[in-house]
Amino acid sequence: MGTVILGTGSCLPVKRVSNHDLEGILDTSDEWIQSRTGIKAPRISGKGEQTYNLATEAARGALDMAGMTADQLDIIVVATISSHMLMPSCACFVQKELGATKAFAYDINAACSGFLYALDLGDKYIRADPTKKILIIGAEALSARMNWADRNTCILFGDGAGAAILGHQQGESGYINSNFFSDGNLWHLLYMHTATSNNAELCVEDNPGVHVVMEGREIFKYAVKAMEDAVRGLLIKEKITIDSVNLVIPHQANIRILNNLIERLEIPKEKVFINVAEYGNTSAASIPIALDEAKREGRISTGDTILFCTFGGGLTWGATLIKW
Ligand code: UT7
């Protein structure tokens, strides 16, 4: 073992957009959205709440819990698909805002799975050099990347950020293992173009613009089965049963996906942390926000085995086990 989470933090935009608010701009209803997704009122960014602003505030919370200052950080990795610029990375803006002068910084793109991929990456850095302190963040302002006329997608997503500081500690606690997968053949089920190309030769046909496009039903089908298989594979690899997991923190996609997963894996509901009603699907931010809330609500104790699972665009999916 060795790679431990020294602190967590999260930041949500101030403004809530309820399903009733959406009824005013879309042919939809609170009843439809709640019954299909479990979502009530996600947070949507306003002025001064760019992806990097949310990420920076989440990082400050994590540094505070870890009892660290930004100049102690060696590496900053932000998982995001909704940075306000393509370049520089969101991570470089966070580095600047925090004044993390020693740290090098970059983003990764694995959609909703990004935070778990970053956690796995952080573990590899720390195994190579246990003195390193790594800030990993999942941050999104997907409201800027929604087609607000598409009721299939815009009702699902929200904005926010969550962060964790990774370091090394002797003993039983630490990152255990992950079981990750990707299938680029299924990219078309959930995607987002960049703006149209300035090179006519590279223009992509049928580019609908910079917003999330999704085949909801297909995604639903794949998400449940893929997460179930990833979790089962990881438990077998680590020779543990679901009974010895103390807390499950899944990607908060929607309540029907989560309920299906809970049923298939026969997990007692009280062991699963769910906050999708409040925030909707915040993509890469969903797991670290939930982790921070679980920690601050006292749902996590030293020695607990925590299981994460995720699914998102790419397609990307997987599961991760840690011992707190
Ligand atoms: O990280 C992964 C992210 N993605 C997801 O989590 C999405 C997974 N998919 C889902 O959760 C579900 O597929 C949705 C919630 C997106 C849609 O629910 P569904 O039960 O699969 O609905 P559907 O797409 O089969 O559509 C059923 C009906 C359609 O009307 P018709 O054609 O039967 O007349 C839709 O046009 O519901 C209609 N509909 C809506 N009605 C009211 C679709 N969106 C809405 C809406 N309000 N917002």
Asked if 212 contacts 153 with a C-beta cutoff of 8 angstroms, the reply is yes
pLDDT beyond 90 at 146: yes
How confident is the model over 104-108, as a mean pLDDT? 98
Question: Of ligand 1's atoms, which has the minimum distance to the CA of residue 217?
Answer: 13
Same domain for 303 and 216, yes or no, is: yes
The confidence score (pLDDT) of residue 207 equals 82
pLDDT digits (tens, 9 = 90+) for 152-200: 999 999 999 999 999 999 999 999 999 999 999 999 999 999 888 889 8
Q: Which of 140, 156, 144 is nearest to 28 (CA)?
A: 156
How confident is the model over 218-241, as a mean pLDDT? 96
Those residues with Cβ within 8 angstroms of residue 131's Cβ, 6 or more apart along the chain or in another chain = 168
Q: Would the CB of 113 count as within 6 Å of ligand 1?
A: no
**For 236-248, b where at least 16 C-beta lie within 10 A, e where not — what string?**
eeeeeeeeebbbb
Q: Would the CB of 153 count as within 6 Å of ligand 1?
A: no
Pairwise CA distance, residues 319 & 250, whole Å: 9
The residue to which tokens 């989470």 are assigned: 5
Same domain for 95 and 195, yes or no, is: no
Q: Which of 145, 147, 125 is nearest to 134 (CA)?
A: 125
Q: Would the CB of 282 count as within 6 Å of ligand 1?
A: no
Checking DSSP bridges between strand 134-140 and strand 75-79, what pairing results, if any? Answer: parallel
Distance 134 CA to ligand 1 centre (A): 39
Q: How many domains does one find in the chain?
A: 2
What are the C-alpha distances in Å from 15 to residues 40, 42, 48, 164?
13, 8, 12, 24
End residue of a domain, out of 172, 199, 228: 172
The confidence score (pLDDT) of residue 209 equals 83
Asked if 196 contacts 203 with a C-beta cutoff of 8 angstroms, the reply is yes
Same domain for 193 and 312, yes or no, is: yes
Asked if 255 contacts 40 with a C-beta cutoff of 8 angstroms, the reply is no
Tell me if residue 200 falls in helix, strand or coil: helix
Pairwise CA distance, residues 139 & 164, whole Å: 12
Q: Would the CB of 60 count as within 6 Å of ligand 1?
A: no
The confidence score (pLDDT) of residue 196 equals 81
Mutate to test the pocket of ligand 1, among 21, 31, 150, 152 (most ligand atoms within 8 A of CB): 152
pLDDT, averaged across the chain = 96
Mutate to test the pocket of ligand 1, among 40, 142, 220, 260 (most ligand atoms within 8 A of CB): 220
Q: Which domain holds residue 291?
A: 175-323
Quote the tokens at residue 8: 């967590």
The confidence score (pLDDT) of residue 197 equals 86
Pairwise CA distance, residues 117 & 122, whole Å: 9
Distance 152 CA to ligand 1 centre (A): 5
pLDDT-derived band of residue 1, with 50, 70 and 90 as boundaries? low
Question: Of ligand 1's atoms, which has the minimum distance to the CA of residue 111?
Answer: 1
The confidence score (pLDDT) of residue 37 equals 97
Q: Would the CB of 88 count as within 6 Å of ligand 1?
A: no
pLDDT beyond 90 at 208: no
End residue of a domain, out of 172, 188, 223: 172
Same domain for 158 and 197, yes or no, is: no
pLDDT-derived band of residue 304, with 50, 70 and 90 as boundaries? very high
Same domain for 160 and 207, yes or no, is: no
Quote the tokens at residue 192: 């987002």
Q: Would the CB of 221 count as within 6 Å of ligand 1?
A: no
Distance 147 CA to ligand 1 centre (A): 15
How confident is the model over 19-44, as a mean pLDDT? 95
Q: What is the CATH number of the domain that holds 108?
A: 3.40.47.10
Quote the tokens at residue 302: 């030293």
Q: Would the CB of 217 count as within 6 Å of ligand 1?
A: yes
Same domain for 224 and 141, yes or no, is: no
Pairwise CA distance, residues 113 & 308, whole Å: 10
The confidence score (pLDDT) of residue 118 equals 98
The confidence score (pLDDT) of residue 222 equals 95
How confident is the model over 96-118, as a mean pLDDT? 98
Same domain for 154 and 214, yes or no, is: no
Pairwise CA distance, residues 25 & 155, whole Å: 11
The confidence score (pLDDT) of residue 171 equals 92
pLDDT beyond 90 at 212: yes
pLDDT digits (tens, 9 = 90+) for 243-263: 999 999 999 999 999 999 999
pLDDT digits (tens, 9 = 90+) for 259-289: 999 999 999 999 999 999 999 999 999 999 9
pTM reported for the whole predicted model: 0.96
Q: Would the CB of 174 count as within 6 Å of ligand 1?
A: no
- Which residue's CA is the closest to the ligand 1 atom numbered 6? 253
End residue of a domain, out of 126, 149, 172: 172
Mutate to test the pocket of ligand 1, among 25, 27, 36, 155 (most ligand atoms within 8 A of CB): 36
Q: Which of 111-115, 150-154, 191-195, 318-322 has the lowest mean pLDDT?
A: 191-195
- Which residue's CA is the closest to the ligand 1 atom numbered 36? 152
Give catalytic residue positions. 112, 251, 281
Task: State what percent of residues in the chain have pLDDT above 90.
Answer: 94
Question: Of ligand 1's atoms, which has the minimum distance to the CA of residue 251?
Answer: 1
Quote the tokens at residue 53: 């602003």
